[in-house]
Amino acid sequence: MKYFRMEEFKCPCCGESKMEDEFLERLDAARSYTNVPFVINSGYRCKAHNDSVGSKESSGHRKGCAVDIAYDSQNMGEILAALLYYDFTRIGIGKNFIHVDSKPGIYYWRY
């Protein structure tokens, strides 16, 4: 990866990082599309951490195919454009983060 270090994706609870290679390659390509840094708030989550944040067992974070990217009003559009350009079709927008995953299907939502 050119724009990320594996440490960015580690579970804060246990330090594990079981991210899918294909997902990381696409994320890195999306990052290359823009000059905006992708600051990863959440990557891989072990079961204990996933439970502690109230997420579902089926979360892409558990499968290593999801991240939450921090954004502000100046860079949200650029991040979204890059994710869409690289065919990410599951995107959720929170107050200060964008969730993106590569689970099957097309689904866009707001938290």
Angle (deg, nearest 10), helices 76-85 and 21-32: 130
| Domain limits for position 55 | 18-110
Query: Is 11 within a domain?
Result: no
Amino acid at site 69 = I
The domain spanning residue 39 has which CATH number? Answer: 3.30.1380.10
Number of domains the chain is built from: 1
- Each residue's pLDDT, cut to its tens digit, for the chain (111 residues) gives 999 999 999 999 999 999 999 999 999 999 999 989 999 999 999 999 999 999 998 999 999 999 999 999 899 999 999 999 999 999 999 999 999 999 999 999 999
Q: What gap in Å lies between CA 61 and CA 51, rounded to an integer?
A: 11
Query: Is 63 within a domain?
Result: yes
